[in-house]
Amino acid sequence: MSDLPDHSITARDVNLWYGKFQALRDVTLNIKHGLITSLIGPSGCGKTTLLRCFNRVNERYGYVTTKGEIHLLGKNIYDPDVSLIELRKSVGMVFQRPNPLPLSIYENVVFGLRVHAEGEALRRSALDEAVEKALTEVNLWHDLKDRLDHKAIGLQLEQQQKLCIARLLPLKPEIILMDEPCSALDVEGTAAIEELMFSLKGRYTLVIVTHNMAQARRASDECIFMLLGKMIEHSRTEDLFLAPSDPKTAEYIEGRYG
């Protein structure tokens, strides 16, 4: 992965409208490869909308209009020759509440391969290897290796969320987007997911949306503060929390609003 650009995601003058409502305003940023970057800000500031721009999920809604450029790994994802299928293989997404498929643990992990892969990749031995590798990466193999035929929806919430991350990995994404991945979890589950994020960074670029300031501070390398659809400040997490350069950032992290 040494030939990858320094920035996994580069956005230039991104504007987005839901119908007539403008949710993003001239967003320009660079997200570094291999780091955990948090998007923070009060409810309605545009952070989840921005996150969903990175794999063009917003476009599933017919009333969304987007302008500007977003380059992922050097390619503008709005170029006419971009395949949304290939984009979403490269940019995996984890949602607020775990959403395992109503299938076995094994079939959850290989679901993407069954949809997208061909030939040798679909041989049983290759699928078995993919399952073991993905579950090992998310620290579930030891606990689940003898229960692969069990229904995924029977797992604990923390395990379900890990499984949802594991489901992305056989497709070899470069970027993993996480929309408040711990909001449905207890303290122990949150700690486990954060530990997993630490283990994944470097191999993957992680971008997370969080309302939890403590989580943003302890679990991310860099933070982006958003307000009213605009990017206000982007810096190293330590710098943003200890010495914010914009007074709006200081007001937010000090709890004066949001």
Longest dimension (CA), the chain: 57
CA distance 71 to 61: 22
- Kindly state the tokens that stand for 257: 């609003």
Place of tokens 């070899």: 172
Provide the percentage of residues in the chain whose pLDDT is more than 70.
97
Whether pLDDT at 105 is above 90: yes
> Phi then psi for 230, rounded to 5 degrees?
-110, 150
157-168 helix and 187-200 helix, angle to the nearest 10 degrees: 20
Coil vs helix vs strand at 54 = coil
Q: Write the single-letter amino acid at 53.
A: C
pLDDT of residue 35: 97
The stretch 13-26 carries a mean pLDDT of: 97
Res. 257 pLDDT band, cuts 50 70 90 = low
Residue 147 half-sphere exposure toward CB, CA atoms < 13 A? 13
Whether pLDDT at 207 is above 80: yes
Domain definitions of the chain by residue range = 7-253
Give yes or no for a contact between 218 and 232, defined as CB atoms under 8 angstroms apart.
no
More confident residue, 124 or 256: 124
Give which of 3, 78, 85, 16 is closest to 45, Cα–Cα. 16
Each residue's pLDDT tens digit, 41-76: 999 999 999 999 999 999 888 899 999 999 997 799
pTM metric for this prediction: 0.93
7-253 has CATH 3.40.47.10 classification: no
- Give the full edge-to-edge strand order of the sheet including 36-40: 91-94, 175-179, 205-209, 36-40, 222-227, 230-236
CA distance 64 to 57: 10
CA distance 70 to 73: 10
Whether pLDDT at 118 is above 90: no
The stretch 235-240 carries a mean pLDDT of: 97
Q: Which helix H or strand E contains 40, and what residues bound it?
A: strand 36-40
> Phi then psi for 155, rounded to 5 degrees?
-75, 160
